[in-house]
Amino acid sequence: MKYSIVMPIYKRLDVVDYCLDSIRSQDLQPLELIAVDNNIDTYESKRLNDKLKIFSKKTKIPCKVIKSPKNSGAIARNIGAKMANGDFIAFLDSDVILDKNYYQVLSKYFLKNKRLIAIQGLDRSLIDYQKSLIKSRFKQKIIFFFEQFFETSFLINKKIPYVSPSLAVAHPNSLEDFELKSEWISTCAGIFKKNVFKKYNFPNQFVTYSNNEYLILSHKLFKDKFGTMIYTSKAKYKDIQTQSGRIKKIPLMYQIEAYDWFIFLKLYKLNSIDFLIFLKSRVGHLFYNLVRSILKKNCSFRNVYHSISSCFYPLLHIRQIYKEDLSFYERDFM
């Protein structure tokens, strides 16, 4: 399998070496590494170039560094997909560490299944999280059940990896082996056939960290019956979840609400059941932000105001969202 790795990079130069080391150790080496530089700071761009030159020299893997016109994970992935020479595109976040057989294991699925268009392995962080729930205290269990009921986070212990109208994605039980058809594939460490990008792409309207852009692409593929997608526990990786490169709390709250309305209106028809599930998740986000502020003893007027304001923010711009115009968020927070 000839595959290209596409990696958007914004900051995270303190952890990207771990990711590069895991690429270097792969049993099945990539055709190339395409790093899309989202850095605004010239110094950080230079450091990135230096690191990739050393990586390429050590591994003999050709590296391309492409400067993105805007700090956007979605735009960076579109650029990388267009520039890739491989028949398959392995998107990879810069804070991910792959098991050494990750790409070798997943490549065999494409050989067996001609209808397969995308695949992902299992994040070991999810295994750790599910194990911690077993031993967790009462307060942590309450928070978990709250998140599951309001669908404010990912869903677990589901037999089918589906996408809820709340935009929460369902994971199988990570404590058991599984190999299932999926309604979604993450770009954290997912592989897609390149021909997908002749017709589909990520939303260029999304800027900065670009929450949930993978849903626009992968769930649309599922709904259009473009091909089969698989989620398997046979290959694993670790998302170390660094805070570097992520946007601050308040802009993030507004981004989640605005972008999620965009995604919902793009993927779902406005029938009453889907809309009520989506609204329930919005109420859950509001409660979650307020309760989190209380528990962290950070329940200031400012935090309460932004928790409430962010929920109504998309409604003030609903016409623009219908027209797939998110420039208002960029204007307000960039």
Q: Hey, where are the domains in the chain?
A: 3-239, 249-333
* Average pLDDT over the chain, rounded to an integer: 92
Give the residue with greater pLDDT, 219 vs 288: 219
Residue 292: pLDDT above 80? no
Residue 262: pLDDT above 90? yes
Instruction: Calculate what percentage of the chain has a pLDDT beyond 90.
Output: 74
Give the residue with greater pLDDT, 250 vs 270: 250
| Sign of the alpha-carbon dihedral angle for 199, 204, 208, 212 | negative
Superfamily of domain 3-239: Spore Coat Polysaccharide Biosynthesis Protein SpsA; Chain A (3.90.550.10)
Q: What is the pLDDT confidence band of residue 291, given thresholds at 50, 70 and 90?
A: confident
Report, as an integer, the average pLDDT of 53-65: 95
* Predicted TM-score of the model (pTM): 0.93
Nearest to 220 by CA among 252, 283, 262, 188: 262
Distance CA 148, CA 116 (A): 30
Report, as an integer, the average pLDDT of 235-248: 85
Q: What is the pLDDT confidence band of residue 158, given thresholds at 50, 70 and 90?
A: confident
Q: What is the CA radius of gyration of the chain?
A: 20
Distance CA 234, CA 92 (A): 18
Give the residue with greater pLDDT, 251 vs 142: 251
Write out pLDDT tens, residues 108-121: 999 999 999 999 99
